[in-house]
Each structure stands twice: as structure tokens, then as C-alpha cells.
Amino acid sequence: MTYLIDRRLQGKNKSAVNRERFLRRYKSQIKDAVGRAIKGRSITDVENGEKVSIPVKDVSEPSFGHAHGGVWEVVNPGNQEYLKGDQINRPKGGGGSGRGKAGNSDQLTEDDFIFELSREEFMNYFFEDLELPHMVKTQLTATTDFKHQRAGYNMSGTPSNIHVLRSLRGALGRRIAVGGNSRKRVIEAERELEALLLEGVPLQDQRVVDLKKLIHHLHTRLLAIPFIDPFDLRYTNRVKVPKPMTQAVMFCIMDVSGSMDETRKDTAKRFFILLYLFLKRVYDKIEVVFIRHHTAAAEVDEEEFFHSRESGGTVVSSALHLLDKVIDERYGAGSYNAYVAQASDGDNWDNDSVLCRQLLVNTIMPKVQYYTYVEITDGPPQNLWEQYSQVPDHHPHFAMQKIVTPADIYPVFRELFKKQPK
């Protein structure tokens, strides 16, 4: 019998440790399940947990056994069907993982392994591969956050900060320095004693007795040197230094003109809800500015942005003018990473669409890290799309995507905010 003993340390809550280990082991299968699950739920329910199923073949555990090795001839009592040399057909497969057509009654199958992902776990997997592209770190004069950084060693401190290796190294150096002369004298005395004994000097001779006493005295002095002394102790020194903060602002611009019917507005709101959840969960230092526009643009709060029913004509440039004004007044001087997400049906005055392209190319794009435009339409591209499609020729940090149905929201969102290769 062979016993395998797991001696890895575990915390008090062993169940939580085992669960984290399980999630790490089947990470790819869980991510696929989360991707499938999000397609079948509304964006407003995205924060709920989810039941995840993993094929039983992926969670099967290996078994250990002793192989016979070599060629064995075995007599199986009760065999009335096979003779020596007969070939046995491969057993027929069953229903497999509990799905498909029913098998024979003597075929055993296993259901998929199903477990519940908590809300936190689901959101971690949901946003794991996403980020705000092209973000840079900016040092802010008003930053009060600090990080602890190692800065050499101290001769005093708490026991938990003792640096064992440095302390032992200092103790070794001290012992070598303090006992250097005594060791040298011991070696000389031992050589002198050995020379006298080789000459045949008797042990009772006064010179031999004196050398033995001296050698014993020197050894006693060497043994009296402590292995480690409080003077040798060194403590890790840590100082607080200002921490460079990555601070960002996201501008959400939504078209609420008359051409945006309720279905398109609902799709735009779902996209911004998903974006808002992503920003608040992944980033600590981020501000969100909401801008609604029809013929005129206005900065609004979260409640009005998602629930106001105000509508009108369409002048997209009004939102871009307001965007430029807010960046200059509140988020300029290079202290913020500015991002913009715009959603519209693309219906705009022809002359105004040209003005929007000029504003983006000449004024706005040099001030932002990344600009995304989402056109919500089930027909051909509108005039705003045609003008915006020229912007990437001047600024590569401009991205465009089209949403036709609510099912396109999640794939478009992941495409716009997927992690960039380093």
C-alpha cells in the first residue's frame, strides 16, 4: 500500500484555500463558461453570480497503482466465452458526460461538474482580460499615497524585522576580528610545542608546561567569544516614499436625439452600464464624466445620464466642444489619463460631421489616451461613421465598432478594451 501525504501549509479556512486552488486549476474552463453565461443575461444582471459547469473529463483525478510489468498469463475462473488468442472488441461508448442519446442500461455515465461562482469571483473572471489602453503613470502634486520601500538596515527595530542573513554575517565578521590575535598565537604556540616534543623534551619540562597552559588559556578565550551579540543584530529598514499614481478620467458621451429611438437608447445605456461597472471595479483612482447631447450638450450626473427622457435634434459637435472645455478646465496639465467613449446612431448633419472630424483630429485626440466610438445601427454606416473612419489615419488610438443588437454589446466591449500586448 502506498500513501501520499500532502504536507503543504493551509490556513484556518481550509475550504477557501481549496476553492482558490480549484479556481486556479480550471481557470480556462471557467472563463469559457463565464463568456457563455454573459451572452444569455441582461447587462443589469451582470453583477450576479453564475452556476458554472465543467466537463467531467476535465476534473477527473489521476489514480496511482502498481503496474505488473512484463507479460502475464492469467487464468480467469468462470470464463465461458473467450479462448487463448481471441481478440476482444473495444467496449461501446456511453452517453458521455450525461448528454446525447441514451446508452444501454449497463453503460455508466457521469454528469458535468456544476458549482456556483460567487458575485466577486464572477466579476473577477468577467473583467480579467480588460484594461484601459495606453495608460501612463503620472505623478500628482496632491498625492498622499505612499509605498514602503527598503532602505538598508538599522541597528534597532522590532524582532519581526530582523534580517537573519545580515545579522549572522556581521556576527561572523566580529568573531573573526575579535579572535584573530588569539588564533594566531594558538597556532604559534602549538607549533612551538610540537617542535619541543620532536626534540625529545620531557613533558615535565617547564617550557612544555607553560606552552600547554598558554594554549588552554587561548582556547578558553576563543570559546568565550559569543556566537551572536546584540551588537550584531541588523533590522530591515523601510521608508515611505511617494507612490506614482495612475489617475484617469473617462468621458461617457451619449446621443439622445430624436433619431435614437428607445431600443437604441437602451442599447447605448447597457454599453455604458457595462463600462461603468468595469471602471469602478478595476480602477481605484478614476473619475467618470457623463455628457448627453442632442442639439445642445450638457454635463449631467449618473442618474440623469441613464434615466433622463430629454430629447431633440442632433448636433454632435456640441458634445465635442463641451468635452474639450472640460478637459482644459479640470483635467489638463498632463496629470490625468483621459479616455472617451461615445455612443450614437451616427445620424448627424453633414456639415457638422465634418466639423466633428476636424475637432477630433486637431484638438481632442492630442489630449486623450484613447477614444472609442460605438455606432448603434442595423443599417449602413451613417455620415458620422464615414467622417470618423478618417481619424485613425492621424491618430492610431482611435477605435470604432458597430452594435446591431444587444447581443453585440459584450463582444464589442471586449474588443475595445482588451489588454494590449506589452
| pLDDT at residue 402 is higher than 80 | yes
Lowest mean pLDDT, pick from 182-196, 236-250, 253-267, 406-420: 236-250
Pairing verdict, β 398-403 and 297-300: unpaired
The SS3 assignment for 413 reads helix
Cβ(376)–Cβ(267) below 8 Å:
yes
Band of pLDDT at residue 360, cut at 50, 70 and 90: very high
The pLDDT score that the predictor gives to residue 12 is: 53
Lowest mean pLDDT, pick from 10-14, 67-71, 80-84: 10-14
Where does 73-227 have alpha helices with state H?
119-126, 164-178, 180-198, 206-223
Give the separation between CA 341 and CA 343, rounded to whole angstroms.
7
Domain parsing of the chain, residue ranges:
16-56+114-128, 159-237, 248-417
CATH class in words for 248-417: alpha beta
240-241-244-249 Cα dihedral, nearest 10 degrees = 50
| pLDDT at residue 354 is higher than 50 | yes
The pLDDT score that the predictor gives to residue 409 is: 83
Say how many C-beta atoms besides its own lie within 10 A of residue 183's C-beta: 14
The pLDDT score that the predictor gives to residue 105 is: 47
The pLDDT score that the predictor gives to residue 291 is: 93
Q: Cα 297–303–309 angle (5° rounding)? A: 60
Say how many C-beta atoms besides its own lie within 10 A of residue 178's C-beta: 15
Mean pLDDT of all residues in 108-136: 61
Lowest mean pLDDT, pick from 65-74, 95-104, 197-206, 242-251: 95-104
Q: Positive or negative CA dihedral for 120, 410, 361, 259? A: negative
Mean pLDDT of all residues in 339-358: 90
The pLDDT score that the predictor gives to residue 55 is: 63
The pLDDT score that the predictor gives to residue 374 is: 93
- pLDDT, averaged across the chain: 77
187 φ/ψ angles, rounded to the nearest 5 degrees: -65, -45
| pLDDT at residue 99 is higher than 50 | no
| pLDDT at residue 404 is higher than 50 | yes
Mean pLDDT of all residues in 195-213: 87
Cell readout for 4 is: 501520499
Cβ(186)–Cβ(223) below 8 Å:
no
Mean pLDDT of all residues in 351-355: 90
Q: What is the pLDDT of residues 152-180, one digit of tens each?
A: 888 888 888 888 888 999 889 888 888 88
The burial class, CB within 10 Å (0-12 / 13-18 / 19+), for 411 is middle
Cell readout for 292 is: 448627453
Separation in Å, CA 97 to CA 55, 88, 106: 7, 25, 15
The pLDDT score that the predictor gives to residue 323 is: 93
Mean pLDDT of all residues in 14-32: 65
Say how many C-beta atoms besides its own lie within 10 A of residue 92's C-beta: 9
